[in-house]
Structures are given as structure tokens and as C-alpha cells.
Amino acid sequence: MTNDLQKVLILDFGSQYTQLIARTVREMKVYCEIHPFNMSFEGIKKYNPAAVIFSGGPCSVYEEGAPGITKEIFELGVPVLGICYGMQLITSLFGGKVASGVKKEYGQCNMEILSESRLFKGLDKNNTVLMSHGDAIEVLPEGYRVTAKSGNTPYCAIENEEKNVWAIQFHPEVVQTVNGEKILANFVFNIANIRSDWNMDNFIKMKTEEIRETTGDKKVILGLSGGVDSSVAAVLIHRAIGKNLKCIFVNNGVLRLNEAQKVVQLFKGHYDIDLTYVDAGNEFLGKLKGVEDPEKKRKIIGHQFIEVFDREAKKFHDAAFLAQGTLYPDVIESVSFKGPSDVIKSHHNVGGLPEKMNLKLLEPFRELFKDEVREIGSKLGMPDEIIHRQPFPGPGLAVRIIGEVTPERVKVLQLADDIVVAEIKKAGLYHKLWQAFAVLLPIKTVGVMGDLRTYESVCAIRAVESRDAMTAKWAEIPYETLDIISKRIINEVSGINRVVYDISSKPPATIEWE
């Protein structure tokens, strides 16, 4: 990052919504990072934030071992905003009292603004906000005033303008808080006076120069999947170092219909990128034979990919770097905060390879969210079909084939899924949906085609609307479109005689079936 870039620091106390705070701030064209609550004060000073936000969290401030922070943060001279647990922590630090609430407060409720506050500039007196707390403030810390209340919470928002501290009990980062973005914008712009100068044009220029300086005349290997992250990374790195980038594209046998040909044509043909295509479909499908458990499928595909990729990469003896399309959410989820936040998963695009191959990692997008990477792809002139394509699971169609994965079942699902995507695009729905795809079920049902009785597989259609995949609502696809999809699949795909539509949302269901 450039030295003159103004940055927001988000200290995470374990909230499930912390990433949403960062996304919302980034969408304001303001740079921010999430760090664990126990980040050292020296580290905080080195980061040099223009403002600090404390996230929510699952703990109670009065519990033994509850996560805390040093009061030195408040001596930095920058505004501090505490959200939910962050508000209770501020209260506790400055002599107030927090206790288990007699009445809990979960879900949407009305917040009434009681007095003028820079945090609520431009808002009406009554606002819908999302609450998620069982504890409540009983005694305000000295020097703080209350600026808003709700039905069960007399201290919904407090502040001490002299100390540059603001705190709210609700979550402004979620869509259920109607004016949440405006409240965060008031903190960032009206209170912290931060410039909106984080943009992808500057990032491309800065990152291109950084890649050249980092790699010098050394070779870089990149595992190209055809997805958004690795594709945009390939084009950006190629722009920086040209033929010193070597891409390897592994066909694992469970890709979408004609995916391999499209990737090779685009990157080898159009972009003139040095691309090695490896058709390893038979190897992968051989390893998957007889396997039905979804986690075993994932592990088999992950391990097999490492073996194939490593084998091909060894042919480039002078390579010094392994490039990956790692995103900021991947980085956040891979870090244990050794406190209230559980490790969600260990996430690596090509897990285990850097150590195995003795290569240095090159991750140009590790500070970025998906939307920012899409914007980079657009500015680099990449086709819309690549940069705005819907998410596709790493294990591919293997986790959309419920039960055993066989070459025959892969072919059936490829054809059905291609019809779903084609008709969703034709109906003008593709970019309105987070994902739309077909799932092949391990059951057969009786059908009639002509005068013949059939006994064939069932195909499920899954389509959801979402902002970030943390939650998702099943999409109300027009009946006419569903009818066309169903008729085409049954008429054109041999092996399917029944189509059903999945109307479950996340939670409780996940987006993918496995």
C-alpha cells in the first residue's frame, strides 16, 4: 500500500459479520483491513489507521478470559467505532457496567434517535436495525451520552465526541439494518474525514510494478482454473512479466461442458499466454470410482490435483514463484485469532504446493474482495463471460453429482447444467442470480416417453440470490423459464426423465448440495 493511503483498521472479536464491515467500507472506495483483536499496539501504530472499528463477537465482556484491547488505542488520536461487543467493551473499559440483559434482543427492531449525532446525520428519527445481543449496558461510562434507544435497549448508541469514540449496539454492516451503510459512511467520511481514494486503476499500476520488482527475471507458475480469480491474476501477471509467466491448466474430468476448450482458446489463443494443458480426467475419475462421501471426493480431487500439478510444474526447472488467486476472505478465514473466532477453514488455492515445490508465493489479490477482482478484470479488458461468471466449486461437478462420480454421470450432468445456464442467460437472469446450476440425484423414477416406460435419473435445479454467499434465498425463477429448462433437459439429455426445483434457502440449507 502507498504511504499516503488513508486506512481503516477493523479489529475482529469473532463476529460472523466482520467481513461485511470490511466489504461495506471498501465499497466506499476506502481501504481497510481486518486484524485479530489481539494485534499488538506496535503493529497497530505501524499500520497507522485513520480510524478504528471494533467488531461484534460472541463473548460477554464480564466473562473470565473475554477478549479485550489496550486503552492505548484511544490515545492514537483517531476516531473509534464500537459495534455490539465492541460497544460493550468500550463501556467496560471506561468504567461503565455491562450485564446479562433481562430481555434479549435478536432480529430487526426499531431504533429511535434521541439527539443529534454526526453518526446519524441525514437519518430519520426512527430506523430499522438488526440486533443480536443478550447482554446490555446498565451504567454508562463517565463522559458518554446516549443518542439512540430501542424497545429493549435504552442505550442503543452512545458517544463521547471529546474522546472521539462512538459505539452502537446494532449491526450496521448487514442488509437488515436499513440505513447501515449510511451510518458507516458517516463514521468514515463525516467523523474520520477519510478520503475516498482506494481504486483499482491505482491498484493495477502499483501491483504491476510490484510484481516486476518481486520476480525480477525469474519464472512464475500459475494454476489456471478458468475461474474469476486465477483468470484475472493470469492476465495481470502476464501484463507485468510476459513470457516469464507459465500457466498450467488441469482438466480434472469434472469441469463444465466444453470448459477446457474455452479456457485454452482464450488464454493461449487470445492472450498469447504460455499455457500447458493437462487432460487428467481419467486419472481423477479413476480415483473417484466407488466413492460417494462428499468430503472424500473433495480430498481425493485436492490431493490428485497437487500430484498432477506438481508433476507438470517440475518441467519448469527455473521457476521461482507460484502464483495464486487468493482473495482477502481466504486470508481472513485461514487465520486463527486464538480467541472468540473459530478457524472456519484452512484455505489455499493450491494447498500444500508452495512447500512441496520449494517456491515462493505470489498472491497479487490477497488484499482484495471478489468484486474488486472483477473490477480489475473489467479494466484489463477481459470478457464479461469470465469476470462475471457465477461461482463454481473447486471439486467441480463431483459435488453436484450426489453419490458415485462416473464418466457417464458426468456427461449427463454437463449437458443438463449447460441447458440450465443457457436458459437462465436467455431469460436475462444470469447476472441477477448468485448461482444457478443442475444437480444429479442418485435416485431413479418411472416416466413415460412416447409409449415406453422409462426408469431414469432425477435432476434438481438450484438457483439462489445472494450478496456474499453467507446467506442466500432461493430464486423465484419465472414458471415459463423453469418449464423451458425442464422440457429441454428431459428431451435432450438421455438418462433424465424428471426435473425438480430446490426451494430451500441458506440457512438452513447450503448453496451447494455437497
Classified as helix, coil or strand, 446 is strand
Which residue in the list 32, 171, 259, 514 is annotated as catalytic? Answer: 171
- Considering only CA atoms, which of 83, 66, 69, 89 is closest in space to residue 119? 83
> How many Cα atoms occupy the beta-carbon half-sphere of 333 within 13 Å?
15
Q: Rounded CA gap, 277 and 351, in Å?
A: 20
Q: Measured in whole angstroms, how far is the alpha carbon of residue 299 from the centre of its chain? A: 21
Determine how β-strand 31-36 pairs with β-strand 51-54.
unpaired
Which residue in the list 32, 59, 84, 247 is annotated as catalytic? Answer: 84
Give the containing element (helix H, strand E) for 165: strand 165-168
Q: Are 379 and 200 in contact (CB under 8 A)?
A: yes
Q: Are 397 and 254 in contact (CB under 8 A)?
A: yes
At a CB cut-off of 8 Å and minimum separation 6, what does 47 contact? 7, 9, 33, 35
Annotated catalytic residue 492: no
Annotated catalytic residue 173: yes
Which residue in the list 33, 159, 173, 456 is annotated as catalytic? Answer: 173
- Concatenated DSSP letters of 357-422: HT-EEE-TTTT--HHHHHHHHHHTT--HHHHTPPP--TTGGGGTB-S---HHHHHHHHHHHHHHHH
Q: Rounded CA gap, 11 and 282, in Å?
A: 47
Region of residue 77 (phi > 0: left; psi between -120 and 50: alpha; otherwise: beta): left
At a CB cut-off of 8 Å and minimum separation 6, what does 434 contact? 390, 391, 464, 465, 466, 467, 469, 472, 511
Q: Are 185 and 323 in contact (CB under 8 A)?
A: no
DSSP code for 265: I
Annotated catalytic residue 303: no
Residues annotated as catalytic are 84, 171, 173
